[in-house]
A and B are shown apart, each in its own frame.
Chain A
Amino acid sequence: QVLLQESGPGLVKPSDTLSLTCAVSGYSISDSNWWGWIRQPPGKGLEWIGNIYYSGSTYYNPSLKSRVTMSVDTSKNQFSLKLTSVTAVDTAVYYCARIWTGGNWFDPWGQGTLVTVSS
């Protein structure tokens, strides 16, 4: 059974960098899959942040591209998200998920972690 678990600070100051990690268990991150990050502001819909391949190739949401960096650590079986220059609008629940190659759907998802941007 594949499980994903997000971790990182729950509170980030404005203008700082948001950093999250997604630990994968029950599956090798190197087994030719894409992995993704999605966020959901309180009371709003889902917003795609980006995808990363185990080799490091990426696709980013153009609205966030200038501030987003994703990376993979195969030795730790995890992947990470960095979002720079955050503001209050970046306050959201951040999810990581496995992406099924070919159809590009997300399954399973991590439980999500709330990140609040506030001073």
Chain B
Amino acid sequence: SYVLTQPPSVSVAPGKTARITCGGNNIGSKSVHWYQQKPGQAPVLVIYYDSDRPSGIPERFSGSNSGNTATLTISRVEAGDEADYYCQVWDSSSDHVIFGGGTKVTVL
């Protein structure tokens, strides 16, 4: 079955750029979606179709996807960006949803 691999944690100083990777076999051929989850809250969609932002999501959040790696980039990181981030794809070969294991972003 298809597997998405994320680093368990990423630390970043305020004002700097955080990059969260999501690795998968030829993931560039799939559409990748990203969710932000703050403690005690439901996940919120921050990026869909690799790089599109839903209404209300700051431009500081961007995404890219190529080859075997998709990346969520958070520019000018703020304290409020501290959260868990999950990538997700639809595996059309099996008709299953796949989530990455999640990355905890800590703002130093």
Contacts and interface: CB of A to CB of B under 8 A. Distances in A.
Contacts of A109: 42-44
A46 interface: yes
Interface residues of B, number: 24
Nearest to B49: A103
B67 interface: no
Interface size classification for chain A: 20 to 34
Interface of A: 36, 38, 45-48, 51, 59, 61-62, 95, 100, 103-112
Contact of B48 (A45, A103, A108): A103
A51 B42 contact: no
B96 A47 contact: no
11 contacts: A46-B43, A59-B95, A61-B97, A62-B94, A62-B96, A104-B31, A104-B97, A105-B45, A105-B48, A105-B88, A106-B33
B101 interface: yes
A107 B90 contact: no
Interface string B82-101: 00101010100011111111
B97 A48 contact: yes
Contacts of B33: 103-106
Given A46-B86, A103-B33, 11 more contacts: A38-B99, A45-B86, A45-B101, A59-B95, A59-B96, A61-B96, A62-B1, A104-B97, A105-B33, A106-B35, A111-B42
